[in-house]
Structure 1
């Protein structure tokens, strides 16, 4: 009888702890979502009313403070940086996950380099880019210097996410392909990579978020200049949307802060659209792999 009473008390304590932990998890989730919604509503509510056709597509002047040139520069930086960094990051992840032997010293060095690059502050990247790309290589303060710097910054994100995605592919896929006579290289590119593509795209999405939101490194490398009309000249010094928002917020013009909120709203919309399209694309790839 005494043991039964003790068991009931023990079960009661476990239920109380379980309910407390469950409540804590729910509160943490609600708090996280609430903070996100507050930030989004605060910026969008103050920014969207200030967005108009002149601000989006007009020439930059003291009256309109148009963001057309920064939008073009931001999209240019996203595309070219990913073209440079994504293949390098994915191929490095393929080597680490598929070809490198356990305990290999080269693997340890690569992992140390990736972890170190991931932990370096962006301002340090900016100083490195200013010294190496701007001064030593002679790119000057330009979009190209910013692209090279940002490409190095996003490598750790792409490598880590791609490696984890490749490792998550079941071994039976590889064994089945190799058993049918396919080479190791063909197995990786025809079986493993398509299956791991949704996870790789997740890393690309995170990389895009870092490119779009970067300011410190780009101030030192791409500069803070803004042109009346956008140009695709890689050697021109142009600001991105994040720098444009920072510069507007620090200027003393009467409507510059309103335009800064408008720029922030555009940034949020661009990030949302990119994430949405990438998620949809990853979902389609996943369904295609399931059908195969």
Structure 2
């Protein structure tokens, strides 16, 4: 297995990440394009998933969205749903230019907020070979209602101030990504701080904040609806005790997806990244890949 740093254009800026390639003696493998969730960066356990997929024989293109991590974009920590979906389109296009992979078999893999993005991206691009969405954000209404009411009011107020300030070029007004009850934060469930922040490596300088304006667009975003439009195989991994991306609407959307397989786990939103839960989930995802996008010769 080899991993190298890569970059590709999205608009006028560069997205950066990693390209994983399996054993050189293997035929050109399918490639899995991977990105993370709400304000997260690729160092937050995406390497663990990519390692397993690569060990199973698949190439992986793992990237940070613009405005986050090692990718370009100012102001920093600007979370734009439209821009992130554009980044997905750019990443897919880049994957199809690579010499060492099967460019006709591109798989999308997203977690949490990125799990919603891959549903939209898969619906928009009929050439995608398969989609994997784990603990996905599917309903802005449900996720907003799961937020502490006082926190929701604070996020809304800061979002309005941030949006107004952006019109005259002011520095973004921010909210925390993970916070405690009543904080001005996008995730305030009891397991949010203790589940989200430990995913950050100790030596990584992580910013637990985003421009508050995204708090105004999240309630209006319902990527789960896109499952009805996807024609390739889809795997949706749902955490039944998810306090961030409530499972009920996700299960409903998944059952309406004509090509969607649903697997449910008795887990919380952040359990899926580590320990025995990670081992179980990644094994199920590799099994799905083996069936939906088998390696050459299998």
Is the shorter-chain TM-score for this pair beyond 0.5, marking a shared fold?
no
TM-score, normalised to structure 1, is: 0.23
When the two structures are superposed, what TM-score results if normalisation uses the length of structure 2?
A: 0.22
Q: Which has the higher contact order (CA 8 A, sep 6+)?
A: 1
Higher strand share: 2
